[in-house]
Amino acid sequence: MGEKKVHMVDVTEKQNTHRTSVSSGLIRMTAPTLELVRKGKIDKGDVITVAHIAAINSAKMTPTIIPLCHPLNITGVDVTFDFEEDPPSIRVTTEVKGYDRTGYEMEAMTAAMAALLTIYDMLKPVDDSMVIGPVLLESKSGGKSGEWRRRK
């Protein structure tokens, strides 16, 4: 076997453009657990606020978490949480945007996953049946490849 190299993709010649990436993820839980979150009755505190902060922080920290990601100029991170009844779950949607030479897909997915893991951590004392997933890239725009949207 020959020598294997690991390297960061060289984006030197790429153009800076406005780029956005949107990701979503789901955490399923019992109906009573979802109701506790809605009512703010979790001992560790406000689940949604803490998960929101985790998403933003992790988007900014993605190059530290994912070894070959470029540090990017993030200009905005939006996070939304939707409560779903059937099955009982919380859907997290993240949008990361900025102006740079490469896309924000990993930042959006890392943000969604960090929010989901934070929710899991805060709820594990009351619900050991939770399931995370899937986490998906929903759309991206900017750069040479232009617009991409996941087909429903």
Residues carrying an active site annotation: 121
End-to-end CA distance of the chain: 42
Distances in Å between the Cα of 98 and the Cα atoms of 3, 66, 142 are: 36, 19, 10
CA distance 52 to 97: 16
Q: Tell me, what DSSP letter sits at residue 92?
A: E
